[in-house]
């Protein structure tokens, strides 16, 4: 069974630009959540989607947004990039909507210059 797939794996963007990251969950998983990991920090929750609806949102500015499609694939978007947005962005999928183990993809490394 294929795991969580994230694309692209690495990207470099300039301040002020926007970026879209993609995530394909494990087959059959309907919940997708996104996390940001920066140096020295643990993983910070961004948002979670279940059945195309955002269920929870972390404490991030509105520049961070996401969506989920009917096939459970998800995208997250960061607009007006700042240097501090440089991070590893991790997508995780889960079978159900709560109280479940979440399984991570390899992540997308974003560098903002």
Partner 1 sequence: DQQVKQNSPSLSVQEGRISILNCDYTNSMFDYFLWYKKYPAEGPTFLISISSIKDKNEDGRFTVFLNKSAKHLSLHIVPSQPGDSAVYFCAASAGDGNQFYFGTGTSLTVIP
Interface positions with partner 1 (CB under 8 A): 4, 6, 31, 33, 35, 40-45, 48, 50, 55-56, 58, 90, 92, 94, 97-107, 109
Joined together, the tokens standing for residue 92 give: 């995780």
Taking the complex as a whole, how short is the minimal distance between the CB of residue 18 and partner 1, in angstroms? 24
C-beta of 52 vs 80, nearer to partner 1: 52
Of 18 and 38, CB closest to partner 1: 38
State the CB neighbour count (10 A cutoff) for residue 62.
Answer: 7
Please give the Cα distance from 93 to 4 (Å, whole number): 7
Query: 48 vs 61, 91, 98, 109, CA distance in Å?
Result: 15, 10, 10, 20
Smallest gap from Cβ 17 to partner 1, in A, equals 24
Q: Is the Cβ of residue 17 or residue 38 nearer to partner 1 in the bound state?
A: 38
Q: Are 101 and 59 in contact (CB under 8 A)?
A: no
């Amino acid at each position: 069974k294929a795991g969580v797939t994230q694309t692209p794996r690495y990207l470099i963007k300039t301040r002020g630009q926007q970026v879209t990251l993609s995530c394909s969950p494990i087959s059959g998983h309907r919940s997708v959540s996104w996390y940001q990991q920066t140096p020295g920090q643990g993983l910070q929750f961004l948002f979670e989607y279940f059945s195309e609806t955002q269920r929870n949102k972390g404490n991030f500015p509105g520049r961070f947004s996401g969506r989920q499609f009917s096939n459970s694939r998800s995208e997250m978007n960061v607009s007006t990039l700042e240097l501090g947005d440089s991070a590893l962005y991790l997508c995780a999928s889960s079978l159900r909507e709560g109280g479940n183990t979440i399984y991570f993809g390899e992540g997308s490394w974003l560098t903002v210059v």
